[in-house]
Amino acid sequence: MTDRPWWATALQWSLWWIAMIAVMGWLGRARLKPRPVHEAGSLRHPRATLIIGLVTFGFFAALTVLSNLFPNDTATWWTTAIFVGFALMGVPLIIEYVYARHAVSAAGLSYWTYFGGAKFMAWDTLREVRFTHAMRWFRVENSSGDVARLSVMLIGLPDFAAALLEYAPDTTVIDDETLAILQATAAGHPPPAW
């Protein structure tokens, strides 16, 4: 047991939860900002994604450097490895912000993948669309087995949902829950960010 009073621990965790709620609320609001007309049909991450990625990487990279510049008895190679691991968690957010540019049109969906680069999926080739709650993304699969995953954090998600509902062929498998989420998203009410 520690010598800290119970209220100090309660205060610490309360402040943590308040900070997380504030950050997630900020992220959720950032994706709903109005866009210029020339960006209609485009899907991209809000600047908040880049900020979170840079802060995460910068903070833990600084801790990595400081823990090695000013070592103490508790610092081991594990300390460095853990800080490096946390710093690297910010890198996918930065990559997503910079490279993840998607677009919808009457012809289909242009999308980006980590390892495949830019790809195109025609609406008439869609096989299945579903929403994955755990990952917070729409999973769109075509008849060739190609898969596009579109995060709920993307700005322009209502454009995607509206285009999908309008242009997807009747043979596309969309379960009832995903259909309801797509309809709400097309109406300007995307799923929560968390």
Query: For the segment 9-57, what is each residue's pLDDT rounded down to a tens digit?
Result: 899 999 999 998 988 888 878 888 777 878 888 999 999 999 999 999 9
**pLDDT at 1 (0 to 100):** 54
Three-class SS string for 32-74?
A: CCCCCHHHCCEEECCHHHHHHHHHHHHHHHHHHHHHHHCCCCC
Q: Tally the domains of the chain.
A: 2
The whole model's pTM is what?
Answer: 0.80
For residues 61 and 108, membership in a common domain is answered with no
Residues of the domain holding 82: 46-99
- Cα separation, 45 vs 30, in Å, equals 9
Q: Which two tokens stand for residue 150?
A: 């579109």
For residues 147 and 76, membership in a common domain is answered with no
For residues 90 and 152, membership in a common domain is answered with no
For residues 176 and 148, membership in a common domain is answered with yes
CATH number of the structural domain spanning residue 113: 2.30.29
- Is 54 contained in some domain? yes
- Cα separation, 150 vs 76, in Å, equals 40
- Is 59 contained in some domain? yes
Query: For the segment 70-123, what is each residue's pLDDT rounded down to a tens digit?
Result: 878 877 888 889 999 999 999 999 999 999 889 999 999 999 888 878 899 999
Mean pLDDT of the chain: 90
Which of the listed residues 75, 99, 123 is the one where a domain comes to its end? 99
Query: For the segment 138-179, what is each residue's pLDDT rounded down to a tens digit?
Result: 999 999 999 999 999 999 999 999 999 999 988 788 989 999
